[in-house]
Structure 1
């Protein structure tokens, strides 16, 4: 993850061309996220598919991978940003806006080995301070998931622990099932 100290405002940052992997604007710094690798990509896609499978057709919520969310003084790109259907900004044609200028309802981050866990937790906490209802920090290395909720202590979940999801979403997930998605061969 590389950081560039910047004198740019959030508005100026948003006018810059997108980078690959994405860059985030945090506390006046431009920080490039690490390139997702195999385990990260597999978990990200499986989470989006699982959430959307139960929430999209009923217009309850939608999970977006790598969606830029700009609000307050930050522009971040959660690995998965889940929005309740009623909060998704749609244009006149019923298509989602390109620019999401609000916090997700549920933010999910998958920790990469080269990422600072404190910086990622900082983004989750920032989302919670701006209306987000739920945050997950997934650590593929130790097979744990930390759950964050506004005004509550974080919870470390492992093994057969049941995961908390947004109340409206009928999705039953346990930690070991999420990490079971990594097994693709044999």
Structure 2
């Protein structure tokens, strides 16, 4: 029986030349799900609300990027739906595949790939000590915001948005100074 050879970031970069939607998860090159409107609208809606944070200077500003690959290890380089770095920690605009640990990651679930976001990604980001992890389900109109507490994630905030008005003025860690409208994010 032949041992399974873990794929590396170099293998991912080589495979990415074929313009496929792929990422490297635990040493395996995995196809990313086909994009769908609910996912795209949630991602764009949330990205737009972060523009004021992106325009701020080093004090309180953020680099927020969508569809960004982050190299956590030689065998783990996922592409996050959204990820952010505090400008006070990363003052210059990042370029290329990120090698710097994000301060915040947001994944938007896709049908058939929920396990990757709700389990695999959560455990990996916890192990790498990413301070904040958000999990959004456009189908269920839910958000769970996790925050590191003594090295483990705990739920810092959760909401189900079936009433747009109740979800229009949310303040969620780590963005204490930013009011978010999840009614808009979920297309209400």
Instruction: Give the TM interval when normalised to the shorter protein.
Output: 0.7 to 0.9
Quick one: distance in 2 between partners of 1:61 and 1:12?
29
Structure 1 position 43 matched with structure 2 position 42: yes
Structure 1 pair 100–152 and aligned structure 2 pair: CA distance change class (3 A): closer
Structure 2 alignment gaps of length 5 or more: none
- 5+ residue gaps, structure 1, are 1-5
Residue 8 of structure 1 deviates from its aligned partner by 4.2
- Once residues 45 and 103 of structure 2 are traced to their aligned partners in structure 1, the CA distance between those partners, rounded to angstroms, is 19
Contact 2:84 2:104 in 1 (8 A): yes
1:29 match: 28
CA distance in 1, matches of 2:7, 2:153: 32
Distance, in Å, in 2 between the alignment partners of 1:135 and 1:125 is 10
Aligned to 2:84: 82
C-alpha contact (below 8 Å) 2:12/2:23 kept by paired residues: no
1:163/1:144 Cα in 2 relative to 1: closer, same or farther (>3 Å)? farther
- TM (normalized to structure 1)? 0.78
1:34–1:21 CA distance, 2 compared to 1 (3 A) = farther
**How many correspondences in the alignment?**
171
Residue 179 of structure 2: which of 151, 154, 172 is its match? Answer: 172
Cα distance, 1:77 vs structure 2:
0.5
1:37 deviates by 1.4
Q: Distance in 2 between matches of 1:118 and 1:163?
A: 27
CA distance in 2, matches of 1:124, 1:21: 24
Q: Distance in 1 between matches of 2:91 and 2:77?
A: 17
The residue number in structure 1 matching 2:97 is 99
2 CA distance for matches of 1:110 and 1:27? 19
Measured at CA, do residues 21 and 15 of structure 1 come closer, stay the same or move farther in structure 2, by a change above 3 Å? Answer: closer
1:112-163 alpha-carbon deviations (Å, 9 max, x no partner): 1232x22112213322322311111111111111111123433542133635
Q: Alpha-carbon deviation of 1:96?
A: 2.6
- TM-score, normalisation: structure 2: 0.77
Local SS of the residue matching 2:126: helix
Aligned pairs for 1:105-116 within 5 A: 105-115=103-113
What is aligned with 1:118?
115
Q: Is the alpha carbon distance of 1:43 and 1:111 closer, same or farther for their aligned partners in structure 2, counting shifts above 3 Å?
A: same
Counterpart of 1:67 in structure 2 is: 68
